[in-house]
């Protein structure tokens, strides 16, 4: 019993399992700007389920991905002009449950899709059909590729200049994007060094091909790099910032390249950034003919679909491990339901995850089946 303006759409507004789409849903909304995610974000219980326009899909989210930058978004760091309240969450995988007329030329009710778009921390999200990625099935592994996999693939392809025998250092190597940087560098026949915070993570890294793991809780990263790699490393895939950035910069080889894809160490600070010792940066770069490049996925969207298709093919061919962490080992157990997004963000910032953190949204529609 929903008001549908154009009755030609009406047959699309049926849930594919035979139950009608509810009129209200739960979603997470940023209600105040803060780097403290729990302070910034509110769980709204009865938001209206949005209606898809002519070129849109209504996706019932089944899995949503947690990203370090969720905190940057809730702190208002990406776009200072956006004022609360606004929706949050960057990526989801789910089923198409309704769609507009022109979108129905390419999609149908019941189809599995993934997408990258703000507003995924909700039971239902409207996604423009042109931004959706059709999938063979709804699997959380596909979600790992949308932001994390694509970031690793495009940054290394565009900025890494990888070739056989190069030494590649990946920081936070067992995390959501690190796992892909390790595997893609190995596929390019590089020697890969990964930093991590536990022996369990080190075991995972070895299982995906990492040649040398450094547990920074029990080993001195600087000493290990100086002793084992006296000539330095050719490429650094860096997502930690702060002291780790300084270590990585000092470890660069002649003509080495440092790719900055994030600086998670600073995201929860009120100021956002931990200072790095950059006063000597020009001299350090000059001495080694080295370079630092930043990488932000939004600036490479023209290559995004190509990257994703390549990664999907690798995964389906068994050439890529897409590790998912549902928080089964966290104190309160698996991340299920939107209310657990808060725990999942805390879990990531405590450095507990192996692979990509994913929250499952259980089926909340009253199915007639």
Q: Do the Cβ atoms of 114 and 67 come closer than 8 Å?
A: no
Q: Do the Cβ atoms of 261 and 295 come closer than 8 Å?
A: yes
Domains of the chain and CATH, by start: 14-138+323-360 (3.90.180.10), 146-299 (3.40.50.720)
String of DSSP letters for 133-144: EE-SS--HHHHH
Measured CA to CA in angstroms, residue 101 lies from 9, 26, 53, 307 at distances of 6, 26, 8, 29
Q: Is 32 helix (H, G, I), strand (E, B) or coil?
A: coil
Beta strand pairing call for 167-170 and 191-196? parallel
pLDDT at 359 over 50: yes
pLDDT at 162 over 70: yes
Lowest-pLDDT range, 26-30, 97-101, 196-200? 97-101
Q: pLDDT digit string (tens) for 267-279?
A: 888 766 667 777 7
Lowest-pLDDT range, 99-108, 175-184, 186-195, 229-238? 99-108
pTM metric for this prediction: 0.92
- State the DSSP H helix or E strand holding residue 25, giving kind and residue range, or none if neither: strand 24-30
pLDDT at 138 over 90: yes
Q: pLDDT digit string (tens) for 321-335?
A: 999 999 999 999 999
Tokens of 170: 């990946």
Pairwise CA distance, residues 158 & 177, whole Å: 16
């Amino acid at each position: 019993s929903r008001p549908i303006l154009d009755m030609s759409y009406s047959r699309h507004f049926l849930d594919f399992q035979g139950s009608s789409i509810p009129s209200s849903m739960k979603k997470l909304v940023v209600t105040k700007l803060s780097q403290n995610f729990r302070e910034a974000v509110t769980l709204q219980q009865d938001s209206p389920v949005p209606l898809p326009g002519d070129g849109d899909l209504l996706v019932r989210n089944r899995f949503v991905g947690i990203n370090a930058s969720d905190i940057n978004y809730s702190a208002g760091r990406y776009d200072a002009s956006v004022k609360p309240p606004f929706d949050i969450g960057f990526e989801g995988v789910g089923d198409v449950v309704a769609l507009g007329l022109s979108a129905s030329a390419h999609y149908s009710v019941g189809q599995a899709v993934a997408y990258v778009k703000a507003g995924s921390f909700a039971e239902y999200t409207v996604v423009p059909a042109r931004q959706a990625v059709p999938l063979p099935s709804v699997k959380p592994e596909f979600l790992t590729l949308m932001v994390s996999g694509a970031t690793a693939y495009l940054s290394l392809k565009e900025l890494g200049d990888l070739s056989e025998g190069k030494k590649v250092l990946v920081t936070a190597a067992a995390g959501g994007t690190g796992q892909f940087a390790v595997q893609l560098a190995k596929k390019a026949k590089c020697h890969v060094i990964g930093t991590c915070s536990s022996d369990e993570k080190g075991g995972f890294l070895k299982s995906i091909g990492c040649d040398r793991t450094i547990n920074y809780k029990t080993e001195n990263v600087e000493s290990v790099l100086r002793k084992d790699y006296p000539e330095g490393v050719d490429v650094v895939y860096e997502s930690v910032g702060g002291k780790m950035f300084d270590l990585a910069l000092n470890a660069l080889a002649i003509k080495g390249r440092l790719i900055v894809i994030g600086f998670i160490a600073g995201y929860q600070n009120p100021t956002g950034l931990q200072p790095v010792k950059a006063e000597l940066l020009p001299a350090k770069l000059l001495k080694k003919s080295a370079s630092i490049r930043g990488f932000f996925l939004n600036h490479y969207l023209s290559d995004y679909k190509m990257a994703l298709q390549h990664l999907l093919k690798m995964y389906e061919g068994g050439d890529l491990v897409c590790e998912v962490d549902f928080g089964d080992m966290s104190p309160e157990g698996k991340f299920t339901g939107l209310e657990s997004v808060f725990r999942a963000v805390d879990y990531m910032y405590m450095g507990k995850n192996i692979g990509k953190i994913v929250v499952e949204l259980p089926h909340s529609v009253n199915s007639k089946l």
